[in-house]
Amino acid sequence: MIEVYVDGASAGNPGPSGAGVFIKAEGSVIKSALPLGMLSNHEAEFEALIHALSICKENQYRTLSIRTDSQLVSSAVDRRYVKNKVYLPYLSRCLELVDQFDLCFIKWIPSSKNKMADELARKAIQQNEQ
């Protein structure tokens, strides 16, 4: 099973945002820091998951265990529902990708257990400003 850690971050809410993805896969590691432009923190969290799922799809991974420190994202994907309609397009895209994998679990973890993805997301924020 592929271990995927995702985090989105914003410098302001909304503000310059970034996605951090850290993937442990079959003896290798993939790190990605993606600048996202101006988004809210929750939007950045969803974008981070979308980015991670896209990377996994490109690499033809079939079984994923995803960890996020966003309770909103983890519960929205788990329940396949989001109350705030602003996030509906993000959730729809996430579910469209999730459904392409044989197995895909998502689990909330505390921020202290998501440091690598957090560092990558913060690095991505700074790439917006260059």
Determine the Cα–Cα distance for residues 105 and 124; give it in Å rounded to an integer: 25
Percent of the chain with pLDDT over 70: 98
Second CATH level (architecture) for the domain 2-128: 2-Layer Sandwich (3.30)
pLDDT band at 129 (very low <50, low <70, confident <90, very high): low
**pTM over 0.85, yes/no:** yes
DSSP string across 18-69: EEEEEEEETTEEEEEEEEEEEE-HHHHHHHHHHHHHHHHHHTT--EEEEEES
Per residue in 49-65, pLDDT (tens digit) is 999 999 999 999 999 99
